[in-house]
A and B are shown apart, each in its own frame.
Chain A
Amino acid sequence: MSFDFALAWDSMPALLNGAWMTVLITASVMAVGAVLGFGMCLVRMSRNRVLAAVGAAYVAVFRGAPSIVLLYLVYAGLPQLSIVRDTPLWVLFASPLFCAILGLGLNHSAYVVEILRGALSAVPPGPVEAALALGLSPRLVFLKVRLPIAVRYGLKAYQNEVLIFLKSTVAVGAVTIADLTGAANEIFSMTYDPFTPLVTAGAMYWAMTNSLRLAFEALDRRLNRHLAAGVPDSRPATARRADPGSALFRRLRRSPAKPAE
């Protein structure tokens, strides 16, 4: 068994088509996961016991179920209900792509709930108290202080989860979607060469996960630049000029206030 470069080259268009589907599904599921995950995290952390229980059940069900089972349930199970089949909802549920994004999104968002919840609980009370003591509304304190700090804490765990679920998108083959793995399998069944298309697809997955990794690392550096001691404002000059404080800062630096120490 050897790697057939000619076949790999010839199967590029089909594989890239499949890879595009994988990217599309991954990006959509990340979006669904961010929205559902954030919303359900607030529900999960609600002081209202009923809401909190609903949130806990959400996590237990959608994190507990394998994503392939969720895919089958959404694609083949829900249309058994007449409320899905005989209403405009059918337009959505008749689409395998919609079902795939919803099924994987439910699974992924349950993980996001727990990652975000852990990160929010890890935020030290000090800065939050300081913001409250300044007279800021609890809502604003959550959005501008607690959440941004939590996002920084949770980023690594979130990155892990995204990379894992990107690879688990192969399950969408179960609902007739031809993604990267599907395309590779198709070529395998036509050529009886399993090695070449699957290794090529593997290399593409590797390229995707590593692009994501690099993107996450760049985001991490950007968000955590406050921890890189000794590095002053690294924003582009245009951003610095747009900051009204920095002009004042520069002016004061030219004629510093006399230190009395």
Chain B
Amino acid sequence: MGLAFQTDLGLDARLRHRAAIEIRGLRKRYGAQEVLRGVTLTVERGEKIVLCGPSGSGKSTLIRCINGLERHDGGTIAVNGVDLDADGRGVQDVRREVGMVFQHFNLFPHMTILENCTFAPRHALGLSPAKAAERAMHHLARVRIADQAGKYPAQLSGGQQQRVAIARALCMDPKIMLFDEPTSALDPEMVSEVLQVMEELAAQGMTMLCVTHEMGFARHVADRCVFLDHGEIVEQADAERFFAAPESERLRAFLNQMLR
């Protein structure tokens, strides 16, 4: 093997292997309370990670730090190679790459479903209204809600609203999607319609970081499950091992609580 070939491969591999999200030693405190105590986590491109843990363990804070909705106090975050400073530089670049879905949907209540989806493409990407609408209808069809495009969020069910929220994020062509307990605020019968959309998204190769307690979803979709407790990653493993053979006492206790 020639040396040149090796260097080529090295460079190529380095570019290709730049992780989607690289978090090192992340710290965050609210006043005296430390919510993240040195979290290190790498999400590879195309990887699907499920993040779980008891309430107050810092899961939401962790993913909210990734797109700068919370400022971190220590450690580093890099998204697709863009560094996110603690003082907020790089945040707009990162937000272009990362879509987010919230527990309470957070649709814009005064805009129609279509306007919800065209708002950011028009104003952040500068798309023409027609182009933005075309893109929005494509993604609304993808989450099977195109026929509701003229309605307002208050006229839709929770499950429908959450699917719109997913479409709205997709309209910005994100490389990475963050989900913050996307099904926790839904009536039980609406959970599956949202999970199905998320599974389809996963199947299409989206990089996903999901805070969720949906074990079925974790088993089907997750490449890796991460357990967070008291602001630290306690254990991470593939879904099968994570649920069937947890190593740490804390994860065992948590899973017992959930199954009860």
- Max chain B CB contacts within 10 Å: which of A135, A233, A253? A135
A171-198 interface bits toward B, Cβ cutoff 8 Å, 1 = contact, 0 = none: 0000000000000000000000000000
Residues of A within 8 A of B130 (CB): 244
Number of interface residues of A (CB under 8 A): 37
Contact A133 B108 (CB under 8 A): no
Contact B107 A134 (CB under 8 A): no
Contact B193 A229 (CB under 8 A): no
Residues of A within 8 A of B136 (CB): 245
A261 CA / B189 CA spacing, docked (Å) = 13
Query: Contacts A131-B120, A261-B196 given; 17 further ones with Cβ under 8 A?
Result: A127-B108, A132-B95, A134-B120, A149-B109, A226-B109, A226-B153, A227-B154, A233-B112, A244-B129, A245-B129, A248-B134, A249-B114, A256-B146, A257-B144, A260-B196, A261-B144, A261-B193
Per DSSP, chain A at the interface is: helix
How many pairs, one residue from A and one from B, have CB atoms within 8 Å of each other in the complex? 116
A149 CA / B144 CA spacing, docked (Å) = 28
Question: Could you show 14 A-B contacts with beta carbons less than 8 Å apart?
Answer: A126-B102, A133-B98, A133-B99, A134-B99, A140-B123, A144-B119, A144-B123, A223-B110, A226-B154, A245-B115, A256-B147, A257-B141, A260-B144, A261-B144
Given contacts A226-B154, A245-B136, contact A129 B106 (CB under 8 A): yes
Contact A129 B144 (CB under 8 A): no
Residues of A within 8 A of B95 (CB): 132-135
Contact A246 B154 (CB under 8 A): no
- Tell me, yes or no, whether A239 is within 8 Å of chain B by CB: no
Per DSSP, chain B at the interface is: helix
A225 CA / B169 CA spacing, docked (Å) = 25
Number of interface residues of B (CB under 8 A): 48
Contact B155 A134 (CB under 8 A): no
- Max chain B CB contacts within 10 Å: which of A130, A137, A252, A259? A130
B residues with a Cβ closer than 8 A to A are 67, 69, 92, 95-96, 98-100, 102, 104-112, 114-115, 118-120, 123-124, 129-130, 133-134, 136-137, 141, 144, 146-147, 149-155, 165, 168-169, 172, 193, 196
- Tell me, yes or no, whether A152 is within 8 Å of chain B by CB: yes
Contact A229 B155 (CB under 8 A): yes
Given contacts A134-B95, A136-B120, A245-B137, contact A148 B110 (CB under 8 A): yes
- Tell me, yes or no, whether A232 is within 8 Å of chain B by CB: yes
Closest 6 CB pairs of A and B: A245-B133, A226-B152, A126-B106, A130-B106, A134-B120, A135-B95
> Separation in Å of the B132 CB from the closest CB of chain A?
8
Contact A149 B147 (CB under 8 A): no
Contact of A135 among B114, B149, B172 (CB under 8 A): B172
A249 CA / B96 CA spacing, docked (Å) = 27
- Tell me, yes or no, whether A230 is within 8 Å of chain B by CB: yes
> Separation in Å of the B103 CB from the closest CB of chain A?
9
A260 CA / B107 CA spacing, docked (Å) = 24
A261 CA / B192 CA spacing, docked (Å) = 10
A260 CA / B95 CA spacing, docked (Å) = 31
Contact A130 B150 (CB under 8 A): no
CB-based nearest B residue for A130: B106
Residues of A within 8 A of B129 (CB): 244-245
Within A194-232, the residues touching B (CB, 8 Å) are 223, 225-227, 229-230, 232
A256 CA / B145 CA spacing, docked (Å) = 10
Residues of A within 8 A of B98 (CB): 133
A229 CA / B153 CA spacing, docked (Å) = 9
Contact A252 B146 (CB under 8 A): yes
Contact B114 A133 (CB under 8 A): no
Residues of B within 8 A of A137 (CB): 92, 124
- Tell me, yes or no, whether A16 is within 8 Å of chain B by CB: no
Residues of A within 8 A of B119 (CB): 131, 134, 136, 144
Contact of B133 among A135, A144, A244 (CB under 8 A): A244
Contact of B124 among A136, A229, A232 (CB under 8 A): A136
Residues of B within 8 A of A134 (CB): 95, 99, 119-120, 124, 168-169, 172
Contact B100 A130 (CB under 8 A): yes
- Tell me, yes or no, whether A145 is within 8 Å of chain B by CB: yes
Contact of A136 among B105, B123, B152 (CB under 8 A): B123
Given contacts A126-B104, A130-B106, A145-B108, contact A135 B96 (CB under 8 A): yes
Given contacts A133-B100, A145-B108, contact A233 B150 (CB under 8 A): yes
Residues of A within 8 A of B102 (CB): 126, 129-130
